[in-house]
Each structure stands twice: as structure tokens, then as C-alpha cells.
Amino acid sequence: MEKKIGIADTTFARADMGGLAERTLLAEVEKAGYKIKIERYTVPGIKDLAIACKKLFKEKNCDLVMALGMVGRAEIDRQCALVASLIIRQVEIEICKHILEVFVHEEEAKNDKELAKIMHNRTVKHCSNALWLLFDQETLRKRAGTGRRQGFEDEPFFEI
């Protein structure tokens, strides 16, 4: 069954996370034999992503949306991320379809090279999450509690 994935991204981010997500998703579904369509919606900043998500669901009929953005270093930016995240999640539960929040905070990296690496890794790994949520939830379940990370290496896990 074909699914439609929305990609909401920003002009604020310092790298084209949306474009990378688009290419990654298309490459992955070709390998896996899934069928998807992609809709893009670019807005100025992360606080505009929630409305972009809602429009992608309501006007473009998406089944899942990836909301990609970068958060600056200032303390004001952390508060922006809080607002952005809360409202994105309100759209998600209102619509009852997944939104994968792919936010990278500048303060996670020591320099631009590291920042680029985190943005790449997090975006690519969340593309896998998106496809698993839509086409293969069993894989997610097998990975439950296994310390998976997006943006960094996975962490060790243990028995309880």
C-alpha cells in the first residue's frame, strides 16, 4: 500500500535536512520495495513547523510527517524549541498520526563539521524510523529498549 510522507523543514537550518530526508527515504524504499509519495513544506523557523505539519496532514493527506529543524545556541532558542515541540505534539495527537521530530541543537556540536555529522546521522536514522512506523512496526518492537540513538552512536543496553 502506498503511503504519503510529509517533510516539513525550515529556512533557518544551516543545512538542507529536508532534502537529505527526501533522498534517503526514496533510496530506502527502493531497496525495501515499499511505495511512498513525498510532500515538502518549508517554513521560516521551527515554531512554524507545527502548522506545516497540520497542513501536510489536512491539505496533502500525509500518513506521517518528519519535522526537521535546527535549534540555535542562545537561551531564547531553547525556549523556542520547547514551544515548537509542544505544538508539534499537539498536532500529532489531534490528527492521531506520527510526527517524527528531527531537531538538532547547535549546542550538541563543538563545531560545524560535528554539527553536520549529527544532522546527517539523525536525519538518516529517523528516515528508517519513519518507514518502520509505516510499514514494519515489528522491527521497532524487536529494537525496544536497545539504546538506539539518532545523531550519535547507539548506547549499550542491559537486561532488567
Residue number with CB closer to a copy of itself (35 or 78): 78
Is the distance from CB of 99 to CB of 52 less than 8 angstroms?
Answer: no
Q: How far apart are CA 140 and CA 143, in angstroms?
A: 5
Interacting positions 64-83 with a copy of itself (CB under 8 A)? 76, 78-83
Work out whether 4 is an interface residue with a copy of itself (CB under 8 A).
no
Q: Which residues contact 59 (CB under 8 A, 6 or more apart)?
A: none
For β-strands 99-105 and 36-43, DSSP reports them as unpaired
Shortest Å distance, C-beta 69 to a copy of itself: 10
Work out whether 40 is an interface residue with a copy of itself (CB under 8 A).
yes
Interacting positions 82-121 with a copy of itself (CB under 8 A)? 82-83, 85-87, 89-94, 96-101, 105, 108, 112, 116, 119-120
| Among the listed residues 47, 60, 66, 151, the single contact to a copy of itself using CB under 8 A | 47
Start-to-end CA span in the chain (Å): 38
Residue number with CB closer to a copy of itself (34 or 98): 98
Please state the length of the chain: 160
Alpha carbon 72 to chain centroid, angstroms:
17
Work out whether 32 is an interface residue with a copy of itself (CB under 8 A).
no
Work out whether 14 is an interface residue with a copy of itself (CB under 8 A).
yes
Q: How far apart are CA 47 and CA 130, in angstroms?
A: 22
Work out whether 12 is an interface residue with a copy of itself (CB under 8 A).
yes
